[in-house]
Chains A and B, each alone.
Chain A
């Protein structure tokens, strides 16, 4: 079946440092989404990337979708304590039903003030 691997599993940074999490799929994706889950909360949608090579920015967050549509990354510049949480990527394999996503394992980000 489709596998989506996400690394690293954990990342500890000092406030102000940058952070990147990577997502890699075994199959070509129709699109990829990123979610953030705050401690004790539920996943909340951040963004969707659809096009090959697409780059999108949300303030300090930069999202990339690979040319082959098999990998993606989320980069946070100058982390803040409010960035703490678990970041998940989720992809839909081409030809599968809408909404049937495969989630990565998540990266737990800790930011030390």
Chain B
């Protein structure tokens, strides 16, 4: 079974703090994604990565950056957290090259005070 794990289920940070969200997958997947999920807006793509050290902006990259130093790990970084970044963050990976089916991690609910 594909396993995608995220570093925290719940996180509370203060405005202005630097926040790291980590995602690890154990199936040697090339492609990894970060989404945020908000009520009524569905899942919106923040950033994705097709390979180590490669990244591409998704639909809402402002205020975020990412890092992919190892194939299995994809980190989302909030350089200076703001209250409007309070959300559920979901990481996903793709099972095989050329497929679209995404395997999601359990999510991190981030609250910025």
Number of interface residues of B (CB under 8 A): 27
Cα A104 to Cα B43 in complex, Å, equals 7
Q: State how many angstroms separate the Cβ of B45 from the closest Cβ of chain A.
A: 7
Query: Which B residues lie within 8 Å of A6 (CB)?
Result: 42
- Write out, one digit per residue, whether chain A residues 86-97 have a CB within 8 A of any chain B CB (1) or not (0): 001010100001
- Write out, one digit per residue, whether chain B residues 65-79 have a CB within 8 A of any chain A CB (1) or not (0): 000000000000000
Q: Is residue A42 within 8 Å, beta carbon to beta carbon, of the partner chain?
A: yes
Cα A45 to Cα B2 in complex, Å, equals 12
Q: Is the CB of A88 within 8 A of B42?
A: yes
Q: Is the CB of B42 within 8 A of A98?
A: no
Q: Is residue A9 within 8 Å, beta carbon to beta carbon, of the partner chain?
A: yes
Cα A42 to Cα B5 in complex, Å, equals 11
Q: State how many angstroms separate the Cβ of A2 from the closest Cβ of chain B.
A: 9
Q: State how many angstroms separate the Cβ of A8 from the closest Cβ of chain B.
A: 12
Known pairs A92-B100, A100-B58 / 19 extra A-B pairs, C-beta < 8 Å: A6-B42, A33-B100, A33-B101, A43-B90, A45-B101, A90-B43, A90-B102, A97-B50, A97-B56, A98-B98, A99-B31, A99-B99, A100-B48, A101-B45, A101-B100, A103-B42, A103-B43, A103-B44, A105-B40
Interface residues of B (CB under 8 A from A): 31, 33, 35, 40-45, 48, 50, 56, 58-59, 90, 94, 97-107
Interface residues of A (CB under 8 A from B): 1, 6, 9, 31, 33, 35, 41-45, 48, 88, 90, 92, 97-106
- 15 A–B contacts from the bound complex (CB under 8 Å): A6-B42, A33-B101, A35-B102, A41-B106, A42-B90, A42-B105, A45-B102, A98-B94, A99-B48, A99-B99, A99-B102, A100-B58, A103-B42, A105-B40, A105-B42
